[in-house]
Amino acid sequence: MQKITRDVLVSKAISLLEDGNVSHVLGWRKGEFDYDITPSVFSEKEDIENNFVWNDFCGANFSKYLVQKTRKLEGKILVFLKPCDTYSFNQLLTEHRFDRDNVYAVGIPCEGMADISKVKKICGEGISSIDFDGDNILVNTVYEDAPIVIDAKSVLSERCINCKSKKHVAFDELIGEEGEIIESGRFDEVEKLEKMTPDERFEFWQSELSKCIRCNACRDVCPACTCEKCVFDNPKSGVENKAPANSFEEKMFHIIRAFHVAGRCTDCGECSRVCPQDIPLHLLNRKFIKDIDNFYGEYQAGAEVGSRAPLVDYTTEDVEPSDIFEGRNG
Amino acid sequence: MFKSSLNSINEIFAKIAENATLYLPSDNKDGNAVYTKWENGVVWSNSLNTVKSPKDFFFPQVEDMMAFKTEGKNIEINDIREESEDFVVFGVRACDVRSFDILDRVFLVDPCDSYYANRREHGIIISVACTKPSETCFCKTFDIDATNPGGDITVWKTEDSLYWSANTDRGRELLSKLNLEECGDEAVNEQKAKTEAILNKLPLANLNTDGFGGDKTDALFDRPEWKTLSESCLGCGTCTFVCPTCQCYDIKDFNTGNQVIRYRCWDSCMYSDFTKMAHGNNRLSQVERFRQRFMHKLVYYPANNDGIFGCAGCGRCVSKCPISMNIVKVMKTLGGND
Ligand code: SF4
Ligand code: SF4
Ligand code: SF4
Ligand code: SF4
């Protein structure tokens, strides 16, 4: 369960609104079943009181919304940022995607978010409401009289099991205790893939990517994908495509996207969270992160504003292409 | 009414598969149900429904339509469509059975879409009544009876048995080949009543269509709520691609170097390049695109189809939208629901 309560965030939002410090609040809006939360703009006190939520299902990262919202909305926007969200926030600032002056960022601690599909694997269908009690999630369903008690740790989403940082790298104000950067096991799965033979690896990605329905949710939610017009949507680009026409094209989309965000992907995990087909897209991006760390020295996209990503920078220390080739064969 | 034991299901599948390719929901390695070609060892899923709808069987996500070859001034046009062989889709839920009716009214009216019609003619639908509906289900809103799903054959599942009843001639023909034991309908009625009780307890059980329908364009089109409803929509199109009733497509040419293949693929009204033509785009903002999807299902479709709504209440968009915005929230905000 989250240590900071909803009420703390609600009163923070309302006081900043009422004092005129901000005119809008980016927050999580209550849904129908306690887990289906919608990122939303709040501007009225009453709306916040009634509909703002903060619980284990508030996974959505608001950073990317700032690109659009700072252009469209008048006045300052209050945004609540979990530690991982702050990396996307900085990365977008590095790329000059929104005006920092239009945003008031409040960092909030996060105990990790639940994955609703993991919850449903335990409690089944028919959720009528969800409550939180200490480390437990209590799920009421139409099939059971008593709530089903689930240990929140057992349903953490993948990106939270492998959380890289409980520390906020950007904020105007912090609520709660600041955390630390974590040594996570986020590259363990990548290492497993590296140990495979090329054929096995090809087989792995083939079977994963062939599930793709090209809904574009991964791209559209990605804070590193903020092109005004994606090449894949541009009829004039020659590569525009609305469907995975064949198995080659299917992989192309993902590989091109992974290259495009290489060095800019902060590993926020939104792509894997939203994929309706449960494709582990984060593994592709983490492979790039791991290789960059390896060849150019440790680099975390979004750790600070203005850093030059290794792939768009040049230093005389840079690795030689031949070393990379040997690294791959060695 | 005919009966078989649940244990003998694989033998029945084998029998069906003797004469036609059989597809049924089976869990993939992620534990998600996917329509899968049946062969020995393929296990029928216990999940309520598949992530992707069975729409693909009749209106596939991508399909080749024709090919052109040019030599000098001659153009050769080749019909490269794959003629469908007979196939059987087992395990279709009531919502998805309705979706076929919704699609039929689009693709089978004059001028009939021969690609779709061809597949419809070759496909036999065996529906299975729901026993464990989800909180995201709201078929009842559209007068769909989840306990009596229809199709060519209907199947009801109880603890240990399956009950079979044919609804069409080709359903009867197939069923007669399965040599099942005749029985009364007591067990089925009992199961129906149980499911009925659950359906009435679902969180969306009381969702109604008040305020929507063919004559509501003027009342709904300019409602200010569209803006807030759509404010965080990513325009990703997940809702349209998992939806069993979304029917828009694009036709494109793919130049392979020695010939041009004309294919069609699903399109989404949520996309910025949807129906982009010589004159440009007709819906320039995401609010307009978002509104279109719901107005189509709840107003324009019924206007052209005797008041039948273009949504089957399957709940796929409810569970798969990355921002959890969906037709239910739209209906609750704009309609006559409390
Ligand atoms: S979200 Fe998943 S299914 Fe959709 S395009 Fe991305 S990888 Fe494919
Ligand atoms: S409503 Fe949801 S699924 Fe549909 S386009 Fe918008 S964000 Fe994507
Ligand atoms: S609009 Fe949503 S609930 Fe309705 S049929 Fe389509 S996916 Fe199912
Ligand atoms: S929407 Fe109705 S028919 Fe469809 S799966 Fe749910 S209960 Fe069954």
Between B205 and A250, where is the model more confident?
B205
Q: How many residues does chain A have?
A: 330
Q: Quick check: CB of A218 below 6 Å from ligand 1? A: yes
Give the distance (Å) from ligand 3 centre to CA of residue B312: 6
ipTM of the assembly? 0.93
**Whether the predicted pLDDT of B197 surpasses 80:** yes
CB contacts of A143 in chain B (<8 Å) are 132, 198
Give the distance (Å) from ligand 3 centre to CA of residue B244: 7
Residues B147-154: what's their mean pLDDT? 97
What was the pLDDT predicted at A246?
67
φ and ψ at residue A195, rounded to 5 degrees: -75, -15
Q: Do the chains contact at B236 and A36, CB–CB below 8 Å? A: no
Q: How confident is the model at residue A330 (pLDDT cuts 50, 70, 90)?
A: very low
Closest B-chain CA to A31: B324
pTM of the model: 0.94
Task: Measure the CA angle with vertex B100, ends B203 and B140; round to 5°.
Answer: 20
Q: In what order do the strands lie in the sheet with B123-128?
A: B33-37, B21-27, B87-92, B123-128, B153-157, B161-166, B2-5, B181-182
What was the pLDDT predicted at A94?
96
**Whether the predicted pLDDT of A96 surpasses 50:** yes
What is the average pLDDT score of chain B? 94
Q: How confident is the model at residue A8 (pLDDT cuts 50, 70, 90)?
A: very high
Quote the tokens at residue B141: 């809103």
- In whole angstroms, give the CA distance from residue A191 to residue A290: 9
pLDDT in tens, B9-38: 999 999 999 999 999 999 999 999 999 999
Question: Percentage of chain B surpassing pLDDT 90?
Answer: 84
**Whether the predicted pLDDT of B325 surpasses 80:** yes
What was the pLDDT predicted at A328?
57
Q: Are A100 and A93 in contact (CB under 8 A)?
A: yes
What was the pLDDT predicted at B84?
78
Quote the tokens at residue A244: 């995975």
**Whether the predicted pLDDT of B333 surpasses 80:** yes
pLDDT in tens, A14-49: 999 999 999 999 999 999 999 999 999 999 999 999
Closest B-chain CA to A37: B324
Q: Do the chains contact at A215 and B236, CB–CB below 8 Å? A: yes
Q: Do the chains contact at B32 and A278, CB–CB below 8 Å? A: yes
pLDDT in tens, B255-308: 878 888 898 999 988 888 787 766 777 788 899 999 999 999 999 999 999 999
Q: Quick check: CB of B204 below 6 Å from ligand 4? A: no
φ and ψ at residue A255, rounded to 5 degrees: -70, -40
**Whether the predicted pLDDT of B192 surpasses 90:** yes
Nearest bound ligand to the CA of residue A211: 1
**What is the number of alpha carbons within 13 Å of residue A174 lying toward its C-beta?**
14
pLDDT in tens, A239-294: 777 776 666 667 788 998 999 999 999 999 999 999 999 999 999 999 999 999 99
CB contacts of A39 in chain B (<8 Å) are 232, 323
Residues B37-50: what's their mean pLDDT? 96
Question: Percentage of chain A surpassing pLDDT 70?
Answer: 97
User: How do strand B2-5 and strand B161-166 relate by DSSP bridges?
Assistant: antiparallel
Q: Do the chains contact at B48 and A125, CB–CB below 8 Å? A: yes
Query: Measuring CA to CA, how many Å separate B231 from each of A38, A222, A290, B234, B289?
Result: 10, 17, 36, 9, 12
Closest A-chain CA to B33: A277
Between A316 and B165, where is the model more confident?
B165
Q: Cα B183 to chain center, whole Å? A: 31
- In whole angstroms, give the CA distance from residue B188 to residue B32: 28
pLDDT in tens, A179-225: 999 988 999 999 999 999 999 999 999 999 989 999 999 999 999 99
Burial of A181 (0-12, 13-18, 19+ CB in 10 A): middle
pLDDT in tens, A145-186: 999 999 999 999 999 999 999 999 999 999 999 999 998 899
Quote the tokens at residue A250: 């299917």
pLDDT in tens, B86-121: 999 999 999 999 999 999 999 999 999 999 999 999
Q: Do the chains contact at A234 and B322, CB–CB below 8 Å? A: no
What was the pLDDT predicted at A250?
73
Option in B135, B232, B325 nearest A126 (CB): B135
Give the distance (Å) from ligand 4 centre to CA of residue A227: 39
φ and ψ at residue B333, rounded to 5 degrees: -80, -40
Question: B89: helix, coil or strand?
Answer: strand
